Amino acid sequence: MALMITDACINCDVCEPECPNSAISPGEEYYVIDPGRCTECVGHFDTPQCAEVCPVDCIPNDPRHLETREQLQAKCDALRAAGIARAPGQPAR
């Protein structure tokens, strides 16, 4: 399943550069995650990096976007093939 950012977000800007799929962007009131690009860092890291760095713990799983680990990996592979996802070992922006 994709992740989501709740309204507890303080717009601290630490999550956006951590996303290897460029799934996080500024929203109207707080940051948002594009579920079409979010792989929970499957294919890149063992844990979602945005949730790891979030100082207010406002990035839970999004129950509206249920996906298996295999589906998340396939999404990562497609994003990488499209040049959207970072390659393994490529540093954060």
pLDDT digits (tens, 9 = 90+) for 56-86: 999 999 999 999 999 999 999 999 999 999 8
Averaged pLDDT score across all residues of the chain: 94
Which pair of tokens denotes residue 57? 């713990």
Parse the chain into domains and list their residue ranges: 16-81
Fold category of 16-81 in CATH: Alpha-Beta Plaits (3.30.70)
Tell me the C-alpha to C-alpha distance, in Å, between residue 1 and each of 69, 72, 73, 90, 93. Answer: 8, 8, 11, 24, 24
Angle 1-82-76 (CA atoms, 0-180°, nearest 5)?
25
